Amino acid sequence: MNRPIRRVAVVCMLLFALLLGNGTYLIVVRQDALNAHPNNRRVRDAEFAQDRGGILVANTLIAETVESDGDFRYQRVYPDPEAYAHVTGWYSYDRARSGLEETYNTELAGTDDSLFVRRLVDLVTGRTPQGASITTTINPEAQRAAAEALGDRKGAVVALDPRTGAVLALVSHPSYDPNAIASHDIGEADQAYTQLAEDEDRPLANRAAREIYPPGSTFKLVTAAAALEAGWEPDTETDSPDRLQLPGTETYLPNQTDCGGDEVTLDQALQVSCNTAFANLGVELGADALREQAEAFGFETRHLADLNGVASRFPENPDDAQTALSAIGQFEVAASPLQMAMVAAGIANDGVVMEPYLVDQVRAPNLSVLRQTRPQELGRAMSAENAAKLQQMMVDVVEEGTGANARLDGVEVGGKTGTAQTDLERNPYAWFVSAAPMDDPQVAVAVFIEDADIARNDIAGGRLAAPIARAVTQAVVE
Partner 1 sequence: MALLSEVPSVVMVHRKRRNVELVMILFAQAVGLGAYALIHLNQSARLPDELPVVAGLWFGLGLVAHLVVRLRLPYADPLLLPCVLLLNGLGLAMIHRIDLINEPPTSGATQQLMWTALGVALLVLTALVLRDHRPLIRFTYTLGLAGIALLLLPLLPVIGTSQFGARIWITVAGFSFQPAEVAKVVLAIAFSSYLVEKRDVLALAGWRVLGLDLPRARDLGPILLVWLASLLVLVYQRDLGTSLLFFGLFVMMLYVSTERPGWAVLGTAMFALGAGAAVLLADRVGQLAHVSVRIDSWLHPFDDIDQNGQIIAAQFGLAWGGLLGTGLGLGRPGLTPLARSDFIAAAVGEELGMAGLMAVITVYGIVVARGLRTALAAKDQFGTLLATGLSFVLALQVFIIIGGVTRLLPLTGLTTPFMSQGGSSMIANWVIVALLLVISHQTRKPAATRLEPSPDAEETQVIGRDRAGAGGRR
Is the separation of the CB atoms in 375 and 164 below 8 Å?
A: yes
Whose Cβ is closer to partner 1: residue 3's or residue 374's?
Answer: 3
Tell me if 4 contacts partner 1 by CB under 8 A.
yes
- Stretch 231-260: interaction string toward partner 1, x if CB under 8 A: ------------------------------
Q: CA-to-CA distance for 48 and 52, rounded, in angstroms? A: 8
Tell me if 374 contacts partner 1 by CB under 8 A.
no
Q: What is the dihedral of CA 205, 210, 213, 216, to 10 degrees?
A: 130
**Bridge-based pairing state of the strands 133-136 and 55-57:** parallel
Whose Cβ is closer to partner 1: residue 35's or residue 376's?
Answer: 35
Whose Cβ is closer to partner 1: residue 6's or residue 426's?
Answer: 6
Whose Cβ is closer to partner 1: residue 45's or residue 262's?
Answer: 45
Q: CA-to-CA distance for 324 and 286, rounded, in angstroms? A: 9
Is the separation of the CB atoms in 150 and 173 below 8 Å?
A: yes
- Establish whether 240 is a catalytic residue: no
Peptide bond between residue 254 and the one before it cis (omega within 30 degrees of 0): no
Nearest to 229 by CA among 383, 353, 365: 383
Q: Terminus-to-terminus CA distance in the chain, angstroms?
A: 95
- Least separation in angstroms between residue 279's CB and partner 1 is 49
Whose Cβ is closer to partner 1: residue 26's or residue 117's?
Answer: 26
Is the separation of the CB atoms in 330 and 430 below 8 Å?
A: no
User: What residues between 16 and 55 interact with partner 1 by CB under 8 A?
Assistant: 16, 18-20, 22-24, 26-27, 30-32, 34-35, 37, 39-43, 45
- Least separation in angstroms between residue 370's CB and partner 1 is 23
CA-to-CA dists, residue 24 to 11, 18, 20, 21, 43, angstroms = 20, 10, 6, 5, 21
Tell me if 3 contacts partner 1 by CB under 8 A.
yes
Select from 8-16, 128-136, 194-202, 459-467 the region that touches partner 1 (CB under 8 A): 8-16
Whose Cβ is closer to partner 1: residue 49's or residue 384's?
Answer: 49
Nearest to 312 by CA among 328, 286, 291: 291
Select from 7-15, 137-145, 306-314, 320-328 the region that touches partner 1 (CB under 8 A): 7-15
Check 98, 217, 240, 336 and give the catalytic one: 217
Tell me if 120 contacts partner 1 by CB under 8 A.
no
Q: CA-to-CA distance for 401 and 454, rounded, in angstroms? A: 19
E strand or H helix at 160, and its extent? strand 155-160
Tell me if 197 contacts partner 1 by CB under 8 A.
no
Query: Which residues are near partner 1 by CB under 8 A?
Result: 1-6, 8-9, 11-13, 15-16, 18-20, 22-24, 26-27, 30-32, 34-35, 37, 39-43, 45
What amino acid positions are annotated as catalytic residues?
A: 217
